[in-house]
Structure 1
Amino acid sequence: MSRTMIQAAVTMNQLQNKLDVVGSNLANSQTNGYKTRQADFSSLLFQQIDNMTDPANGEGRLTPDGVRVGSGARLGSVNIDLTPGTVQETDRALDTALLEKNHLFPIQVTENGETETRYTRDGSFYISPVNGGQDVMLTTKDGHPVLGENGPVIIAEGFDDMTIQPNGQIAVQRGNVTENAGNLAVTEAMRPQLLEATGDNGFRLPDLDELGLEFAEIMQPADVNGDILQSGALEQSNVDLSQQLTDMTTTQRSYQFNGRTISMTDQMMGLVNQLR
């Protein structure tokens, strides 16, 4: 197979991965707290052919000798855009929208007997009974515990009202007395490009040992000296539909052009083989 066909085939495979990313963005355009994924490509340049002669390779040449030849392009990375989306008021006390870029709610997820901390921008919270109904715990809509400064947020039953303050403090009303039931452990992603999507609108940290990084280099507690969230509201997706449709059209055309490259190369090889 010729190098041209190899390059086109490799690139088509990676363009399909980008179409998957765009399709995910479009499918989640109405998902609360969903963050746009951006596919970035890089060229596969790994071979150099030293077939250039003087004067091209004369003294004083600033570019490398020879011709560098690649084998298409690959999907270099899928980056997450954590810029805030539009905030929509719901007037539901436990709905909470983050207002700052790169801020995340930490949640506790247990799968296959293993528990890990994940992160989300979806602030649609609920309360679930625990300890035989004597207490309630703040959870996500999927039932995962929302983490506070000291672990899962657990509140004694019997309160009249509960609100989440702009700085993340959880205020509980019992009769005429208001008490602090804890604080949401809102975190800030210092390197959001390293977060891995886990599905269900969540993210996890990569293997820090493999990257040679410390936890504090990626995640740090958010500064709560100002208003970092809005209660009674939800953050909408930050997907730009017009941009995603443009990306989809461009990617589809690139896919078609690469497919046409393969067919044209095949025709030229056929013509060459017929020469007598």
Structure 2
Amino acid sequence: MRSSLLAATTMGQLQKKLDLISHNMANANTPGYKTRTADFSSLLFQQLNNLSAGDEGATRTTPAGIRQGTGARLGHTNIKMDAGTIVSTNRPLDVALTDDKQFFQVQVNENGQAVTQYTRAGNFYLQPINNNEQVMLVTNEGNPIIGQNGPIVLQGNIDDISIQNNGAISVTRGGQAQIEANLAIVQIERPRSLEAVGGNRYRFPDGALGVNLDDMIEAVQNVNIKVGSLESSNVNLSEEMTSMLEMQRAYQFNSRSISMGDDMMNLINQLR
């Protein structure tokens, strides 16, 4: 039956929306996470005309027939790039960006090549490399953070390390503190053009919008970050719970349509 096919198609798309909502709720406490939203669009429909030959010239105020659709699908997914609330952690390697268009740069290995991606999560760590002779500033997944001269690599034997509000990294050895690196923060004028790649990272899709990426990315000269703090996610749990209930009710409605269609077919089969 057409109604059952329509309901089954829509249920599959509603499940994708529920998965998206669940992903948002699971990352409500992930630093720098941005909410994903989804929009539905109608699939193809069929026009069924019910005019007889003598009614073609008649004046009508109603459609000349009915439209039967084939369900709905998840049209596209958006990322809300609004800045989240800044929460104090008092951890020296936690930093929060104060502008919602600014991003940290991360070096990621893709198919043997080093590519640059972007993140808002500022929970950094030190990872020993080269037999503990050096340390590298990395994300919580171990991806190098890019500074003004490439990935930030520091010599070992560090007594203390701190990040200043202007993005400078101060290292103390033997009671002497000096600036050894600087965070390379960029500003992206159209952050919604980014796509999520997992791990709380973003990148520009291939051939993004047919524009020159150099015109969209600008190095921040006067860096102003908040040290000892993290940007929380911008997930609104009350909105996500409301959306989840709406999707569950829609899913139940379509499931009931299939059950009713099955009952009607059983009734027809029992007719003598």
**Percent identical:** 47
Q: Distance in 2 between matches of 1:128 and 1:137?
A: 5
Give the TM-score normalised by the residue count of structure 1. 0.82
Aligned partner of residue 192 in structure 1, secondary structure: helix
Match of 1:269 in 2: 265
Structure 2 CA distance for aligned equivalents of residues 237 and 197 of structure 1: 17
Distance 2:49 2:165 in 1: 64
Shift of 1:56: 8.5
Q: Does 2:73 align with 1:77?
A: no
Are the aligned partners of 1:102 and 1:192 in contact in 2 as well (CA < 8 Å)? no
Instruction: Provide the TM-score with structure 2 as the length reference.
Output: 0.83
Shift of residue 195 of structure 1?
0.6
How many Å separate the matches in 1 of 2:263 and 2:214? 57
Q: How many residues align?
A: 270
Distance 1:226 1:131, change over 3 A: closer
Measure the CA separation in 2 of the matches of 1:154 and 1:56.
Answer: 79
Q: Which moved more, 1:160-169 or 1:77-86?
A: 160-169
Secondary structure of the 2:185 match is: coil
Distance 2:191 2:57 in 1: 43
Write the distance in 1 (CA, Å) between the matches of 2:60 and 2:223: 59
Which residue in the other structure is 1:245 paired with? 241
Larger displacement relative to structure 2 (172-181 or 229-238)? 172-181
CA contact (8 A) 2:185 2:223 kept: no
Within-5 A mapping of 1:110-129: 110=109, 113-129=112-128
Matched-pair contact (CA < 8 Å) for 2:168–2:183: yes
Aligned to 2:229: 233
- Deviation of residue 192 (structure 1)? 2.0
Q: Which amino acid aligns with 2:241?
A: L
Give per-residue Cα distances to partners, 1:207-263, cap 9 Å, x unaligned.
227x6454346x513544363x21111122222111111111111111000001111
State how 1:11-160 maps to structure 2 within 5 Å. Answer: 11-52=10-51, 67-110=66-109, 113-157=112-156, 160=159
Question: CA separation in 2, counterparts of 1:88 and 1:144?
Answer: 23
Letter in structure 1 aligned against 2:267:
L
How far did 1:66 drift?
A: 5.3
For 2:247 and 2:93, locate their aligned partners in 1 and report how far apart those are by CA, in whole Å: 40
Instruction: Please state whether the residue corresponding to 1:186 is helix, strand or coil.
Output: strand
* Amino acid in structure 2 at the alignment position of 1:215: L
Distance 2:81 2:242 in 1: 21
Note closer, same or farther for the CA distance 1:191–1:58 as it changes in structure 2 (3 Å cut). farther
**1:2-13 map, 5 Å:** 2-13=1-12
Q: Paired residue for 2:197?
A: 197
Structure 2, unmatched stretches of 5+, are: none
Whole-angstrom CA distance in 1 between matches of 2:223 and 2:121 = 20
Of residues 81-90 and 255-264 in structure 1, the stretch that sits farther from structure 2 once superposed is 81-90
Distance in 2 between the 1:30 and 1:143 partners? Answer: 20
**Cα 1:226–1:165, aligned 2, differ >3 Å: closer, same or farther?**
same
Within 2, Cα distance between the matches of 1:216 and 1:274? 70
Instruction: Indicate the SS of the match to 2:100.
Output: coil
Which has the higher mean CA deviation after the structures are superposed, 266-275 or 13-22? 266-275
Unaligned runs of 5+ in 1: none
Secondary structure of the structure 2 residue equivalent to 1:41:
strand
CA distance in structure 2 between the aligned counterparts of 1:271 and 1:79, rounded to whole angstroms: 45
